[in-house]
Amino acid sequence: MDRNEFVDKCNKILKLIRTEYGLTQDEMAAILGISKKTLVESEKGRRSIGWTETACLITIFSGSNVIQNEFGGEASDMVRALAFKDIKVDYPMTMGGKIWWKIVQEADGYVVQQNIISQHYRILDSEDRRLFSSFDKNEVMEYLEGLRKVR
């Protein structure tokens, strides 16, 4: 999945999220920092809210059941994977992937997991800290191989 595909998915569930929270179009537009016209056009599928507004939506409504069901848990992890693509960052500790993740590989204290719904991958260290995220399994495995060589 790339940014455009992620934004498209969020556009399709935008109205469901607004309804889930009991918000009017005016209120939702104000929350996202967009015009009501833009929101209406987006909900009707005539326009996209874009990457910035999508990242805002996922952050503000992180507790949404609609979002969690669409993406398999915390979608902000997907936003980070897309935002940090090709950029090395130090991620904070995770909860270890007890619900939405399956283990793909364990090696030398590292765990490669795949989200069961969104299908994106991540590498965790022995303390459940996310080291790398990507939708590309080959990229994840290459990164893991690099980590193992450093040890």
The confidence band for 99, taking pLDDT boundaries of 50, 70 and 90, is: confident
Weakest-pLDDT range from 8-12, 78-82, 121-125: 78-82
Q: How many residues does the chain have?
A: 151
| 3-state DSSP assignment of residue 125 | coil
pTM above 0.75, yes or no: no
Residue 19 has pLDDT above 80, yes or no: yes
Beta bridge partners of 93: 129
Beta bridge partners of 111: 106, 124
Beta bridge partners of 133: 122
**101-107 β-sheet, strand order:** 101-107, 110-115, 121-124, 130-134
Q: Do residues 130 and 81 lie in contact, with contact meaning Cβ atoms separated by under 8 Å?
A: no
